[in-house]
Chains A and B, each alone.
Chain A
């Protein structure tokens, strides 16, 4: 290892966000269905949430002065990495229960891993964030793992 990852950086593995509780509304489902070009009536009418509706439901609502000049919000879950250029990432999503308007859902994000690999043109840093989404009965509804690569 070239040792890009300090002990201090690695100690942030396990860091967790404050749980965020949100309500699913028919109107928000409809807006998402229209914006994504969905063609299914049950989603366009907001009777049920399409898969990936958790993406807009739990995107951070930050205030204007918290946005960078390029319009990006800073993810406070993440430490400062020694590499900053983000490359393509991947997502793994498990859908355990359907989501309907009126549901209250709570998301908790955890920084689950940080590791280093040698790429063809130098060191790469990978990090993983898992978002667990539960209902008010404490049942897991959706689990999403995001892997991002920095170079």
Chain B
């Protein structure tokens, strides 16, 4: 007997290793960058002061905040999960910088499923326009009411 209960238990039966998560495009602009960093209380000028970012720190543009990319990994997972489960853990790293005005996209693949615990392991990513993975991650999600 499975310990997994609730509507999420049925969902668990329908997923399999290798399933791809729906991809989503993100095109952050300067307004979103300002609002995001203001919500954090992050005053680092590389996120909203373009002359500073370019001339003083030598970036090609305004830098997209690292934890914002991390948040998009979570959104990728949650939009796929719906109300059938929740994220119990994630590990990710910001490997390559991304800039305001770039379009990036999120996605992922189911890599393991444990029907006994109702848990699944998902590899997630943010890729840039060149197709490079800029923010790789691995998450654990749990289906059902557990």
Contact = CB atoms under 8 A, between A and B. Distances in A.
A88 B74 CA distance: 19
Nearest to B35: A35
Contact of B39 (A56, A88, A98): A56
Contacts of B94: 88-90
Interface residues of B, number: 39
Nearest to A67: B43
Interface string B31-58: 0100110111111111001001000110
Interface stretch (A1-9, A69-77, A113-121, A124-132): A69-77
A52 B73 CA distance: 11
A96 B68 CA distance: 21
B75 A36 contact: yes
Interface stretch (B12-20, B83-91, B108-116, B120-128): B83-91
Interface string A64-92: 00010011110000000000000011111
B40 A95 contact: no
A52 B78 CA distance: 12
A35 B39 CA distance: 8
A35 B75 CA distance: 13
Contacts of A71: 42-45, 49
Contact of B91 (A67, A92, A95, A98): A92
Interface of B: 26, 28, 32, 35-36, 38-46, 49, 52, 56-57, 66-68, 70-72, 74-75, 78-79, 86-96
6 contacts: A36-B71, A40-B78, A52-B74, A73-B43, A88-B96, A95-B88
